[in-house]
Every structure is written in structure tokens, then in C-alpha cells.
Chain A
Amino acid sequence: MRLQGGGMAWLALLLVLAVGVIVDARETSDALQLANPDPIRSAQVRETFARLPAQALVLVAMDPDLGTYAEIRPTLRAALDDLLRGGASLAFVSVTAEGRAIAAAELERLRDLGTADEVLLDLGFVSGAEAGMVRLVGGALPVGASGPVADAIGAGGGGIGAFQMVLLVGGIDIGPRSWVEQVGTRLPALPMVAIAPTFMQPELAPYLRTGQLAGLLATVRDGATYSQAVAADRFVLLSDEPRGDRPPSSLAVLLGMLIAVGVLGRQLLGSLPGLEGPVPAAPVEEEQS
């Protein structure tokens, strides 16, 4: 039996996996290191965090989407780790359904890692998209919310004005731009830092330039630089593994690139008529006499 097309692709994938097992990739797959890290954006975010007062209240506006969250997940976890280590209390809120699912999972993960309940608060899902954001400015506490973070928000007026910073986590749907437009215009003194997927960089960079965003991590490079800085600090200060993600392993990067190049190459070769092989001859109809 001769393998073709899809069969060959599966065989190639199995071969790669087998090589990974044989060479024991656990010993060889170091975490990805950046050859040319750009520390400017990372430093901006860290400076904004450093300016927060002790025991600051930070609102985490979790509106990523399931399709792109994997890209920003390591950066977000590093940021949460950074904030918690700095003594901040975090309150999570979402105005999108997907964001709410991810927020619930992240809260659960933080609790599993031993983060004290006293520094976490789930403000839940707020319906109405932009209208919901405006409503949050006046009152963010859901009915029945309790605990030290809820008390602190209540003492600060109950709305977003009680927070010292907002960490905007964006995706395809409603994201940092909507927060800047709806909440930033009503609370211009409130610093906002955004973490978003790479494709949102052109949309969000202008807000950083005008100062409407105090910090922005919207490329893989910025995110990796920031995560490395947080992990290095944590290791130096506490000799401890960070609570954030490890950067992707170099083997996963290599394999992902190979798959992507393979798929793109296959499409390219398929679209060039001369490379598809000889055109099969048209069947000749026999003349019926």
C-alpha cells in the first residue's frame, strides 16, 4: 500500500513524536529564550505596577476569547503573579461570556495554587457589553458579595473608582478599546494596562501613545520579555518557581513552525500549476462508426 497526502502527513507527525521520545526531549527542550528582547513595553507595565500603593485594589477585566487566549495566557499569568506578589488584591469581572468562562477557570487555578481567598474576588459576568461597563463605573459589587476585597470596594464607593488600576485582558470580541472608550472617558485618572493578542497591537498601540493606556503587552515578544522579567525577579527574591506559565518549549516551537511551514508549503505548491505534475490527458472519445 502506498501512502499519499494525508497518510504521509500522519506518518511524518508520528516520526517526529517518536524522535522526541527517543532523544528524551525532557532533557533537551529548554524554554524558549528571546535573542533580542525588547524591554520597553515590559518596563512600562512593571513601572505602572510598581507605582501602585500597598495592598492596591486591581480590577481584572477578563474578556479574552477561547480562540486566542492561549497566546496571552503566559503573559496574563505572569502579570497576576506580579500583582499578587506586590500585595495587590484582584477582583475579576467579565462582560463577555467566553471571558467569564476563562475568568472562572483562572480563579480556580489561583485558588488551587494557594492564593488566599482574602485577596481574590469574583465579580462575575455583567451583561450588556458597553452598557454593562458603564454600569460598573457606578456599582461593581454583585448582590451578596462579601470578604475583605468586597469591603474595600464598598468603602471606595462600590464602583470601578474604588480600584487603583484596571488590568484589561482582551480578545476578538469586546476588549481594551471598549474599556478605554467607556470607562477611561469616565475615570480618566484610573491607570489601565492591557494584555491582548498580537493581532490587536495595531488597534491598541495608539491608545498607549496618547496615554489612555498606561501599559500594553500585545505581542508575543513583549509578553515573553515581561514573563521572563517576572520569573527572574521571583527566582532572585524567593528562589521559587513562578506561578505563571513556563514559556513554550523550544521543541514545541520547532514542531509548530515545521507544521505551519509544511501546511503553507503544501498550499503554495498546490496553487502553482506547474508544480502539480503533468496534467492528465483528457480521455479520448472513440469515434463510433
Chain B
Amino acid sequence: MSGFFADGLAGTVATWSAALVTIGVWAYLVGERRFFRLAQHLLAGLATGYLVLLAVREVLVPRLLQPMVSDPGANALLWPALALTVAMAGARWLPRPVVAIPVAVLVAGTAAFALGGAVAGTLLPQMAGAVLAPGLAPGAVLNGIIGLLITVLVLIAFLHGAPRRRVLVGAAGAGRWLLLAGIGGWLGFLLVSRLTLLIDRVGFLLGDWLRIIR
């Protein structure tokens, strides 16, 4: 049970709509593409409308326009933000050098946050976590050694263009197979994930819609 739909008329309409769209998407499995395409368009339209509403109601008005109107002097940094927003919104009609500035700020800011976070929050702590400290249990040491071996072999598999000897060729081959095994394992997780979603939809149709199960 999704628990999102109430028992009244609105809930019934929502449940029927969700059930019909679910069946419309499943119709693709049996070669019926019209309902599937309709569901796709419905999703795209609803998502776009929702995003516009979200941007206007929760970002542009409360965080940009209202502070500027209420106290323009105290929020001086919002003026360049407004200029960048206008430049992005008018990208289609403005000259490229003008549009390049907000795009550059956006890309550079995103990259800086992502890269800084990846190094400080993932790379360094994970490297520190992989170091084998003295006094570890034998199982943990073995685990660490296996992890190190796999990492080295997979890294060797990415050695392109460098002259290779026979040992390196063998190690690179082993690294490729280990990489494939890792991807296979991840695909297994993905399959279980998707199967769970399918089961949820079946449960929705049988429980929320048809009331066959509780």
C-alpha cells in the first residue's frame, strides 16, 4: 500500500489514474506503444510543470525576489545573482559571451564542490580506511590484501599505450575479468532493485486498486 491516497473521491480518482497509467506503461511489454507514449508525455509534462512551480515558488520568489524587494541594500549580492539568472533565462537571444559567464560560474561552482567533496569526503577517508593497521585480526588483514590485489589488477587493466611484458598482459587480463565480475555483481543488485519495484506495482494493483490483497 502506498499510503498516499486517501479514501475519498480524490483518493479513488488518484488510485484509478495511477492504476491505468501503470497498465498503460506495461502495455509496452506486449507491443502496444500508444498508451506507453501517452504515459511518457504525461510524465514529461507533469515533471516540467512541477519543476517550473518549484523553481518559482521555492527558489526565485522567496530567496531572490522577496529579499531584494524587502531590503535591497542589505542583499547586495543578490543583484549579480539576478543578472546571472536573467542571462541564463535569455540565453537563446543574448550574445554568446554574455551567456558564457553564468554557464562558467555554474559549471565551475559545481565542479569545485563536487571535486572538493570527493577528495575530502571519499578519496582520503577511503585510502585511510584501506591502510592495514598493526594489530588487526587475520581475517581483516586477508580482506585488506585481497582488496589491494584487486585494486592493483584493475588499475593495471587501464594501462593503455604503455609497453607491456608478459606478466603485465596477464595481470591486465585478470584485472579486466575482475572488473567484469564487479559490474556483474552491481547488475545483480540492480536487477533485485528493479524486481522489487515491479513487485511494488503488482502489490499496488492487487491491493490499492483491486483490493484483492490487504
**Minimal Cβ-Cβ distance residue in B for A142:** B62
Q: How large is the interface on A (under 10, 10 to 19, 20 to 34, 35 or more residues)?
A: 35 or more
Contact indicator B121/A67 (Cβ below 8 Å): no
Asked whether any CB of chain B lies closer than 8 Å to the CB of A173, the reply is: no
Alpha-carbon separation in the docked complex, A17 to B210 (Å) = 9
* Stretch of B86-94, B162-170, B171-179, B199-207 at the chain-chain interface: B199-207
Q: Which of A21, A71, A124, A219 has the most CB of B within 10 A?
A: A71
The total of chain B residues at the interface (CB under 8 A) is 53
Asked whether any CB of chain A lies closer than 8 Å to the CB of B185, the reply is: yes
Contact indicator A177/B196 (Cβ below 8 Å): no
Contact indicator B193/A199 (Cβ below 8 Å): yes
Contact of A131 among B29, B32, B109, B213 (CB under 8 A): B109
Alpha-carbon separation in the docked complex, A201 to B187 (Å) = 11
Contact of B193 among A7, A21, A77, A198 (CB under 8 A): A198
Interface of B is mostly: helix
List, in ascending order, chain B residues with CB within 8 A of A105's CB.
4
* Stretch of A41-49, A179-187, A276-284 at the chain-chain interface: A179-187
Contact indicator B214/A209 (Cβ below 8 Å): no
List, in ascending order, chain B residues with CB within 8 A of A143's CB.
62, 66
Given contacts A68-B193, A130-B113, whether A212 and B207 have CB atoms under 8 Å apart is no
A201-215 contacts to B (CB < 8 Å): 201-202, 206, 209-210, 212
Alpha-carbon separation in the docked complex, A109 to B54 (Å) = 20
Extra contacts, 12 of them, besides A71-B200, A73-B2, A251-B206 (Cβ < 8 A), are A21-B210, A70-B201, A77-B3, A127-B59, A127-B63, A130-B110, A142-B62, A177-B122, A181-B120, A198-B190, A253-B199, A259-B198
